[in-house]
Amino acid sequence: MCLSVPIRLTSHRSSLSALCLFSLLSSLLFSSLLLLLSSHLPPPPPPTTAAAEDQSKPAQKHPYSAASDTFDIVSNLIANKAMAYGEAIATNPIDRPQIRAKAVTGRTVFVKDRITQTSGPTPMVALKVLNRMIREDHVKNKYHSQKFHERKGLKKKRLRSQRWRARFKHGFKATVSRVIELKKQGW
């Protein structure tokens, strides 16, 4: 049985969850290993009469014995719990908790029950939110402007022109809205 789990730690909180995940996985592997070992062992031989007489003696020198059956009980309990947990995970992957051990990067939109800056209730609305984010960030313009190298002086000239055009557009819109307002008043 081989199990590999890729874990990338990015923050203190995610490292704690990864540590918990690692300890859970290691305990599962240990218990499944015990189960495999115990299932392949042959049954113990029947006790001899001398051994039966020794077991009837109530006084023991040491309370713990390596040959005691308590270890088998504990290992069976652990193996049963691990098997039940493994079957639950294998049968219903939706019930598993989502573990996000890495930071959210780029333009990520989540599908949640309400609309926020980075989420939408349905996949279609989430795509619209993503399109809005791309439009507001001018991704298309940045992509085309970064295709080719631009001289320093030419870049300054272009940025100055863009700033002037934005100022002119703002002022022009304000003037047009003022003219429309005055026309409504009867001027």
**SS in 3 state form for 102-125?**
CCCCCCCCEECCCCECCEECCHHH
Rounded Cα–Cα distance for residues 29 and 32 (Å): 5
β-strands 110-111, 119-120 pairing:
parallel
Rounded Cα–Cα distance for residues 153 and 161 (Å): 12
Distance of CA 1 to the CA centre of its chain: 24
Render pLDDT for 106-141 as a digit per residue (tens, 0 to 9): 788 888 888 888 888 999 999 999 999 999 988 998
Domain ranges of the chain: 1-42+70-103, 107-148, 152-187
Rounded Cα–Cα distance for residues 180 and 98 (Å): 55
Task: State the pTM of this model.
Answer: 0.35
